[in-house]
Amino acid sequence: MLTLHHLEYSQSFRILWLLEALGAEYELKSYNRDPESNLAPDDYKALSPLGTAPVVTDGDLVLAESNAIIDYILDSYPESPLNPVAGHKDRARHLFWYHSSPGSLMNLQSIAMILGLLEARSPWPISSLLKSVFGQVRKLFLNPRLTAMLKLMEHDLGTQPFFGGDQLTSADITLVYPMYAARDKGLFEDGFPNVAAWFDRIEAIDSFKAARAKDDRPHIAFRF
């Protein structure tokens, strides 16, 4: 049986939601973060060479990387509407948003996080120099790309209710992590009613509620 090794407040929530949405049989093994480092504990990191969440095991197989895991699981459910097939009217839209999660939204937020950590943890006067340099990186690269991405999200969610089209797909599931991380940072505070409606929509889905119950955390907050 497939086992999801679930780290609290992490990307592995996506796999938990996917498995609930599929009605799959699986074993759930939960791990808490190290209270001092806020990172995965040693027994979790020992599961795979990457030492990152999520990780699933299936017999002798150990698999990391969210979208690789999603694809692997969905291979066993070829008729699932969570993966629109070739020729489906929403196939291209689904593919774009499915791959935008690791390809764009996650990367942009990760870069922003790294820049902020370097600024905060570097001694003066290095920190002052970094703030000046990184300010230009944000102005010329990060902010324009992130703004364009958020505007496209708002537009597309105004034409169809889900990132994957007319119904929930794995595009929505893989985007749940960076979307909540973005909301926690206040990126959707003004002028994103369609995005706000998407959050309300997914939180009303039974499989999302079931995943939240099994996650057993007091609130939805994800950590890089």
Here the CATH number for the domain that contains residue 27 is: 3.40.30.10
Number of domains in the chain: 2
CB atoms within 10 A of CB 59: 8
Residue type, 81: P
Report yes or no on 223 lying in a domain. no
**Reduced to 3 DSSP states, what percent helix, strand and coil does the chain have, rounded to the nearest 5?**
55, 10, 35
- Do residue 110 and residue 42 come from a single domain? no
Q: Is residue 42 part of a domain?
A: yes
Chain segment 195-219, per-residue pLDDT in tens: 999 999 999 999 999 999 998 765 5
In terms of domains, do 70 and 96 share one? no
214: its two tokens: 């099994």
pLDDT tens column, 94-104: 999 999 998 88
Q: Please give the structure tokens belonging to residue 48.
A: 């795979």
The verdict on 45 and 138 lying in the same domain is: no
Report yes or no on 30 lying in a domain.
yes
Who has greater pLDDT, 35 or 22? Answer: 22
* Host domain of residue 117: 91-205
| pLDDT tens digits for range 43-69 | 888 887 777 889 999 999 999 999 999
Do 103 and 199 sit in the same domain of this protein?
A: yes
